[in-house]
Amino acid sequence: MPKSLRKKLVPINDTVTWLLDDMLRGTGSLHAALEAAILKRFKILLQRSDWSEELPVHLQPRFLLFGDDGKEICAGRNLRSLLDSGFKSQDMPQEPTLQKEGEAIFKRWRGSEHKEWSFHGLPAAIPTFTQQGEVSGFLYPILMPQVDKGCVVIGFEKNMQLAEIKNWAGTLFLYRLQFPDQFKALKKMCATSFSGPSAVFLFDLEMTHKVAFEALLDFLLHLIFGPLPSGIIKENEFIEKVAEVRMQGLYALGKKMCEEFLRLLRKRRMVFDALRKIFIPDKTNLYHPEKEAEFYAHLRDIFPKDLMLQRHGLSFPDLDRQLQCLLIRIERFYANPAKDSQKAAPLSKHLCNLNQIAAQRDGLSKEAFELAAIYKMMVNEYRIALFSPEIKTRISISEKKLEDQWRATLARC
């Protein structure tokens, strides 16, 4: 859109959100839908001639066509010409390449070793290009732990999501290197602390005990040093966090986290034991298979086996509140099963909604994921309001607020 018109729609980010809410998507002309939404929201009447007939190259979508075997057949900006080409051999894609500047950056940094923050001049990404000179993707720098050498090594990853996950591991290892003696003491303390029966289920992750224990240490470090960035951490953030942890002591912080986590593990075990005592098949008056499945599913949702592999939205106080809520509910269910079923009735549709979101989790956009996380938090608070109101909810919660949040989440899925 020409700047003379575009400047009437600022701030653009808010405008985009409004238009997406107002537009009927998936049917008819995109231009017509946008014109109608802009007229409704801003009272500005656009003509079809106001739109550029041809988008600049950087705004044109690049199409990739794949065969049944999953291999790329051809690629380009013009979908019609690709479909009409008959997939000739000259249309076969070639490996993306780096241009001169990108090649120099790649050679300079790849394989370099670092024991502290020393990444001046390393870009957030290096663009790759097709043979026709079009941007085809990016190479994202990552920090790769080298335990034997006691350093991190710079590598590059094409996939942004994989780069983020690998960078978390590398960043934590770089932090570790700044506290060698304290980390060694923390590791020894954890090995002793997590040897009791309450922690057994954490190591049942279809991985060796050694790998599981390393995951546990990374979990504690993530709690101490997080939240971690998706790319290479900035120098000032790294230095400030190191100074902050050095002041409080890595061992002291880790010991505190360890004790809090063990307390939660013991509480989880208490809830688990309470469920085993209630749901015994020969107790015909209390044995309800559907309730047993529901209660155990709730416990798994609060405290899944892969809890220490999670990296977002984890709060020990919140976990404690949810476990306490479930424990209270179990006690009250034992006293009056019918009343529990009555209270649970309005919750069922929201649990179905959460299952629906979980099924399409990998396909969610970042915005949809964040909205879904808020919805899940609200459902958890709703559970507390229904089954253990004495705990008090963190936010004001109602059926209407849940419905509104669910609609907002669906709109971004």
Place of tokens 């902050």: 244
233, 236, 241, 247 alpha-carbon torsion, rounded to 10° = 160
Which residues, including other chains, have CB under 8 Å from residue 343's CB and lie 6 or more apart? Answer: 386, 387
Residue range 80-133, pLDDT digits in tens? 777 776 555 444 455 678 888 999 999 999 999 999 999 999 999 999 988 777
Hey, what are 129's tokens? 């290009």
Q: DSSP states of 213-268 as a string? A: HHHHHHHHHHHHHPSPPSSSPPHHHHHHHHHHHHHH-HHHHHHHHHHHHHHHHHHH
Dihedral sign of CA atoms 358, 359, 365, 367 in order: negative
Cα(371)–Cα(344) distance, integer angstroms = 24
Residue range 294-322, pLDDT digits in tens? 999 999 989 887 787 776 667 899 999 99
**pLDDT tops 50 at residue 163:** yes
Residue range 66-78, pLDDT digits in tens? 766 667 777 788 7
CB 325 within 8 A of CB 347: no
Cα(346)–Cα(358) distance, integer angstroms = 20
Residue range 121-160, pLDDT digits in tens? 999 999 998 877 778 889 999 999 999 999 999 999 998 8
Ramachandran angles phi, psi of 301, nearest 5°: -70, -40
Of residues 280 and 254, more confidence is placed in 254
**pLDDT tops 90 at residue 192:** no
Q: What is the pLDDT of residue 91?
A: 46
Q: What is the pLDDT of residue 287?
A: 66
Cα(127)–Cα(132) distance, integer angstroms = 14
Q: What is the pLDDT of residue 153?
A: 96
Query: CA 264, 268, 271 angle in degrees (round to 5)?
Result: 140
Least confident of 266-280, 338-352, 357-371: 357-371
Q: What is the pLDDT of residue 127?
A: 92
**pLDDT tops 70 at residue 290:** yes
